[in-house]
Structure 1
Amino acid sequence: MADLQDELNATTEVGDLDRPSAPVAPLDGADPHVDEVALLVDEPESQADEPAPVSVRGLLARHPVADGYCGLPGILRRLSWFDLELGECAVETDLPRLHAGGAGAQLWALDVTADRPVTSALEQIDLVNHVVARYPEGLRLARSASETADARAHGRIAVLIGPAPAAAAGDSLGTLRGLHALGLRILSLRGAQWAPQDTGLTRFGEEMVRELNRLGMLIDLTGAHPATAARVLDISKAPAILTRSGARALNSHPDNASDELLVALREGRGLCLVPCSADRTGPALRDVADHLDHVRRVAGPETVGLSGMFDTGDAHPEGLADPAGYPALIAELADRGWPETDLALLTWGNAQRVLRGTEFTARAARRRRGPSTATY
């Protein structure tokens, strides 16, 4: 296990969040007002009497946004033609807006159909592969934290496939393994037949969680019944995530997380990705910032991240209509006193930590057990 632990802690994403390896280039299309917002970084008293200012533009160049939920595959499959490189008015996410917002990675969610969930999941994975291959100078498919960091180092935006609804696996561990081999990295448990509301998980459901751990797939608890979430957190050896959940203490939307769940997520080193959704967080940018403040206060700065919810059909808060709005949100948090270290965790560090933690768990689990043969 020691060699695995050394590998886990060897990268700059885990240990050196604020040491850029190259000069920082400005973000194209950034709001000029954002450049004037200063983040405060403590310096030794011998060097300066006051903290040195660091621009939001500079922060996002070093620690880009890992956006936790984008519905682009479901939109693109209904379009006969699109151009993500020059800009596309039919979608909310394209390369110019991603670059303007300082994005470095996105999770592309699969929107499967109820009558043929497995087939539609396969079709959308195929679509994602074709879209990424069409824009090699802007996008790169990533299946791990290392590939995500490599894409960022080469100036590409990393695309990770998922989450997909549990129905995409067809209640089959073999199908789940096939989807993982094709690149799926996140499975949502909401609506799974093996996760009933009264007991949380059936015995097959518990085996599904163990297999997800063995494969190195993230478990998305967004909208899951509290009994299901509690049982998953008890069983899973890997961090769990909420891909699009605000704070229920501020907004009673059913997808939002209670303070009890946030605390449990912190104890399991998981992650709550707060969405830019008017329904979940509120109609204004400051409402999203309020939810981020609450999650950070209750669960700590290592448990909070960002989720755009772009191209999902959801209405967005004013000022966050597309990924280009991220610098304004970071500026708002900086004005509220968030230190650079916490902002770096919010945008990039926490997502990388959870990915690496899940991969480390998978390596250890594969030493203990082989593929499960359980059936539903």
Structure 2
Amino acid sequence: MADLQDDLYPAGEVGRVDELTEPYPAEAVVVPSEPYQPVSDPDDAPLTRARAVLAAHPVADGYSGLPSALRRLPYYDLDLGESAVDTDVPRLREGQVGAVFWSLHLPEGPGAPRGDDAVTATLDQLDLAKGVVAAHADGLRPARTAGQVTDARNCGRVAVLFGPAPAAALGDSLGVLRSLHTLGLRVLTLTGTSWASAAGLTRFGEEVVREMNRVGMIADLSYASSETVRRVLTVSKAPVLFSRSAARTLRPHPANLTDDLLAAVGEARGLVAVPLTAEQTGPTVRDVADHLDHVRSLAGPECVGLSGTYDTGSAHPQELNDTSCYPRLIAELLRRGWEESEVALLTWGNVQRLLRGADFTARAAQQRRPPSTATITDLDG
């Protein structure tokens, strides 16, 4: 059943797995926007169309900070509803969300965990996230593959994928990378280490990317330096993810991508998940739609997705306050002339392609090479 997708396109067309054997090549400045006009009229025809499209092609949300947000609460019930956070099962269903990536990122700053402490903290985060899903099994289901995501949807559950986690979680060990993947980690953010820094990837960093390809872990490049991004696009044979990046031309923010990088991501068939945050995309629904238009025009309709970035402490655009609000954004895109087929790729199909691409690449790589035993000392000295 997992492979019997009811996507708009067949798996071979949306996933394009036949192409994956080739290598894949300061604060935000607030930009004034036009006066805001609400788009939430319940009798609005585009809103009705949006809900109909999402019923067939629900949202696959590229980034949620819910695990960390729940850690701060003494008690919560996501099945009943939880006003202390932006996300619960009723609002996920109202927003027609079918899958979500749960971030396992660690606190940043001078006191941030490093080395073995980062590994331990990530394992704690992963254990908490698994426990939350298990405790809300009527609404949530863990998933690792495109097929499992679709199975969860067909059973009326929201699929939860674990990750991204920080690169520091590896403790500079490929053995830890493999162990985290076995435990369910699906995405790793390649920033903040000696081997993935502002200077780019080191030789060990390249080996990390190859081993991620071999096990089927997805590389997240949001907040990575342009040098790291370009090298990963060259080294990785699997599609990469930008879990929360928009267009820097429209909004100067360190996680947003320049036009030339957006074009490069399109050539490499990666996925740019545009965040729904006021800081990165702007204060209105129209601002978010502007970024989606821009990314689509440069990277292509198969390389743009959505990243709610809810429960991260970020402010969200008007009328996109929580996970129930996705139909309002989709209605704005339909007003702009997006085809329903393009919306289907944006919300669901492109994440499915990303997951299929990672799994296809892993199966091929495992036939060519054994697990890497390289160490950072071996390669970086």
TM bin (shorter chain): 0.7 to 0.9
Shift in Å, 1:15: 3.0
Matched, 1:245 2:239: no
Q: State whether structure 2 residue 105 is matched by structure 1 residue 111.
A: yes
Partner Cα separation in structure 2 for residue 228 and residue 117 of structure 1:
22
Counterpart selection for 1:71 from 52, 65, 71: 65
Q: 1:71 & 1:340 partners in 2: Cα distance?
A: 29
Paired residues of 2:223 and 2:254 also in contact (CA < 8 A)? yes
Instruction: Work out the CA distance in 2 between the residues paired with 1:196 and 1:337.
Output: 40
Aligned equivalents of 1:121, 1:14: Cα separation in 2:
37
Deviation of 1:298 (Å): 1.1
Structure 2 CA distance for partners of 1:89 and 1:289, relative to 1, 3 Å: same
The residue number in structure 2 matching 1:141 is 142
Instruction: Look up the match of 2:31.
Output: none
Give the deviation of 1:8 after TM superposition.
11
Q: CA RMSD in A?
A: 1.9
What pairs with 1:265-276 in structure 2 (closer than 5 Å)?
265-276=265-276
Please report how far the alpha carbon of residue 32 of structure 1 lies from its aligned counterpart in structure 2 after TM superposition.
7.6
Q: Is the 8 A contact 1:66 1:306 kept in 2?
A: yes
Paired residues of 1:35 and 1:57 also in contact (CA < 8 A): no
**Contact 1:106-1:159 at 8 Å conserved across structures:** yes
How many aligned residue pairs are there?
Answer: 342
Q: Is the 8 A contact 2:8 2:341 kept in 1?
A: no
The structure-2 alpha-carbon separation of the partners of 1:373 and 1:101, relative to structure 1 and needing over 3 Å to count, comes to: same
CA distance in 1, matches of 2:190, 2:45: 40
Per-residue deviation at 1:10? Answer: 6.7
Contact 2:191 2:197 in 1 (8 A): no
- Aligned twin of 1:15: 9
- In structure 2, C-alpha distance between the alignment counterparts of 1:163 and 1:270, rounded to whole Å: 16
Deviates more, 1:187-196 or 1:353-362: 187-196
**Residue in 1 that maps onto 2:365:** 365
1:192 to partner: Cα distance? 2.0
Could you report, residue by residue, the CA deviation over 1:77-104 in whole angstroms, capped at 9, with x for unpaired residues? Answer: 1211101111111111101111110100
Aligned to 2:50: 56
The answer to whether the 8 A contact 2:3-2:147 is kept is: no
Matches within 5 A, 1:67-106: 67-106=61-100
Answer yes or no: is 1:346 the counterpart of 2:340.
no
Q: Is the 2:276–2:309 Cα contact (8 Å) retained in structure 1?
A: yes
Q: CA deviation at 1:35?
A: 6.1
The residue matched to 1:66 in structure 2 has which SS?
strand
Change over 3 Å in CA distance of 1:73–1:240 after alignment to 2 = same
Structure 1 equivalent of residue 331 of structure 2? 331
Secondary structure (helix, strand or coil) at the match of 1:117 reads helix
The AA in structure 2 aligned to 1:340 is: E
| 8 A contact 2:46–2:332 mirrored in 1 | no
Residues 1:100 and 1:12: Cα distance change in structure 2 (over 3 Å): closer
SS in 2 for 1:253: coil
Alignment of 1:1-376 (within 5 A): 11-13=5-7, 15-16=9-10, 33=41, 36-38=44-46, 55-113=49-107, 114-115=112-113, 116-198=117-199, 200-376=200-376
How far apart, CA to CA, are the structure 2 residues paired with 1:345 and 1:35?
26
Q: Is the 8 A contact 2:8 2:344 kept in 1?
A: no
How far did 1:33 drift?
3.5
Q: Deviations over 1:122-160 (max 9, x none)?
A: 011111111111111100000111100100111100000
**Compared CA separation, residues 319 and 32, structure 1 to 2 (3 A):** closer
- Structure 2's unaligned 5+ residue stretches are 12-38, 377-381
CA distance in 2, matches of 1:103, 1:127: 22
For 1:212 and 1:300, locate their aligned partners in 2 and report how far apart those are by CA, in whole Å: 25
Corresponding residue SS for 2:77: coil
User: Could you list the per-position Cα deviations for residues 252-284 of structure 1 after superposition, in whole angstroms to 9, with x for gaps in the alignment?
Assistant: 100001111111111111100000011100111
Counterparts of 1:14 and 1:142, CA distance in 2:
21
Select the structure with the greater relative contact order (CA < 8 A; seq sep ≥ 6).
2
Cα distance between partner residues in 1 of 2:93 and 2:193: 36
**Which residue identity lines up with residue 203 of structure 1 in the other structure?**
R
| TM-score of the pair, normalised by structure 2 | 0.86
Report the alpha carbon displacement of residue 350 of structure 1 after superposing the two structures with TM. 0.4
Q: Using the alignment, how far apart are the partners of 2:339 and 2:265 within structure 1?
A: 22
Q: Distance in 2 between matches of 1:84 and 1:373?
A: 42
Q: Once the 2 structures are TM-superposed, how far is the Cα of residue 243 of structure 1 from its aligned partner?
A: 0.4
What percentage of residue pairs aligned between the two structures are identical? Answer: 58
Look up the equivalent residue of 1:161 and give its one-letter code.
F
SS in 2 for 1:373: coil
Q: Do the aligned partners of 2:247 and 2:259 also contact (CA within 8 Å) in 1?
A: yes
Task: Flag the 1:239–1:218 CA change in 2: closer, same or farther, 3 A.
Answer: same
Alpha carbons of structure 1 residues 35 and 120: separation in structure 2 relative to 1, 3 Å: farther
In structure 1, how many angstroms separate the alpha carbons of the residues matched to 2:312 and 2:195? 26
Secondary structure of the residue that 1:280 maps to in structure 2? helix
TM-superposed CA distance for 1:197, in Å, is: 2.3
Conservation of the 8 A alpha-carbon contact between 2:63 and 2:101: yes
Q: 1:21 maps to what in 2?
A: none
Is the Cα–Cα contact under 8 Å of residues 140 and 157 in structure 1 kept in the other structure?
yes
Output the CA distance in 1 between the equivalents of 2:327 and 2:2: 30
> Does the 8 Å contact 1:74/1:124 carry over to 2?
yes
**AA in 1 matched with 2:310:** F
Residue identity matched to 2:98: G
The structure-2 alpha-carbon separation of the partners of 1:332 and 1:347, relative to structure 1 and needing over 3 Å to count, comes to same
Return closer, same or farther for 1:355/1:34 CA change in 2, 3 Å cut-off.
farther
- Relative distance call for 1:357 and 1:14 in structure 2 (3 A) is farther
TM-score normalised over the length of structure 1: 0.88
- 1:196 shift after superposition: 3.2
